[in-house]
Chains A and B, each alone.
Chain A
Amino acid sequence: MMRRSKMFCPIYKWKISQAMDSGKTISSNVHKHMRRCDSCREYAELCTSLKPKFTQDKQAILEDFDESLNKKIMMAIPERAELRTEPRRRTLALIPSLAAAITVLVISVSIIFLSLPRSKQTPPLGPISTLIRAASPENVLLKVESPLENEYTELKRAFESTSKFLISSFDFRIGQQAK
Chain B
Amino acid sequence: MSNISAVKQLSDEELASKVASGSQSSFEELVSRYSSRLFYFLRHRFKTDQDIEDLIQETFLKAFRNIDRFNPELKFSTWLYTIAIRQAISRFRSEKKRSTSIDPSPSPPDPQEIVIQKEESQNIWHLASKLGERQYEALWLHYGEDMPIKEMAKILNKKPITVRVLLHRARLNLGKRMDLPIASGKIAGTTPAAHKFSFL
Where the two chains meet, the residues of A that have a C-beta atom closer than 8 Å to any C-beta of B are 6, 9-11, 13-14, 17-18, 21, 38-40, 42-43, 46-47, 50-51, 53-55, 57-58, 60-62, 65, 67, 69-70, 72-74, 76-78, 80, 83, 86-87
Contacts A46-B174, A70-B31; is A77 near B68 (CB within 8 Å)? no
Q: Chain B interface secondary structure, helix, strand, loop or mixed? A: helix
Q: Name B193's contact: one of A14, A40, A53 (CB within 8 Å).
A: A14
Identify which of residues 156-193 in chain B touch chain A, using a CB-to-CB cut-off of 8 Å.
Answer: 164, 167-168, 171-172, 174-175, 178, 180-182, 184-185, 187-188, 190-191, 193
Q: Name A57's contact: one of B57, B125, B191 (CB within 8 Å).
A: B125
Q: Name A42's contact: one of B64, B142, B175, B194 (CB within 8 Å).
A: B175
10 A-B pairs with the lowest CB-CB distances in the bound complex, closest first: A54-B143, A65-B36, A17-B168, A10-B191, A43-B182, A57-B123, A57-B124, A62-B36, A73-B60, A53-B124
Besides the contacts A6-B185, A10-B190, A57-B124, what 5 more A-B pairs have beta carbons closer than 8 Å?
A9-B187, A43-B180, A51-B143, A61-B125, A69-B53
Contacts A57-B124, A69-B35; is A83 near B65 (CB within 8 Å)? yes
Query: Does the CB pair B64–A39 fall under 8 Å?
Result: no
B128: chain A residues within 8 A (beta carbon) = 54
Query: Does the CB pair A46–B171 fall under 8 Å?
Result: yes
Interface pairs (15), CB distance under 8 Å: A21-B164, A21-B167, A39-B187, A43-B172, A46-B171, A46-B182, A47-B171, A61-B123, A70-B28, A72-B53, A77-B24, A78-B61, A80-B24, A83-B65, A86-B68
Query: Does the CB pair A73–B35 fall under 8 Å?
Result: yes
Q: Chain A interface secondary structure, helix, strand, loop or mixed? A: helix
Query: Does the CB pair A65–B39 fall under 8 Å?
Result: yes
Size range of the chain B interface in the assembly: 35 or more
Query: Does the CB pair A46–B178 fall under 8 Å?
Result: yes
Interface: B27 (CB within 8 A): yes
Q: Name B144's contact: one of A11, A58, A73, A74 (CB within 8 Å).
A: A58
Query: Does the CB pair B56–A73 fall under 8 Å?
Result: yes
Interface: B109 (CB within 8 A): no
A46: chain B residues within 8 A (beta carbon) = 171, 174-175, 178, 180, 182
Interface: B40 (CB within 8 A): yes
Bound-state Cα–Cα, A173 to B17, Å: 113
Q: Name A13's contact: one of B37, B144, B149, B187 (CB within 8 Å).
A: B187
Bound-state Cα–Cα, A86 to B63, Å: 13
CB distance from B129 to the nearest CB of A (A): 10
Interface: B94 (CB within 8 A): no
Contacts A17-B167, A50-B171, A74-B31; is A10 near B61 (CB within 8 Å)? no
Interface: B111 (CB within 8 A): no
CB distance from B83 to the nearest CB of A (A): 14
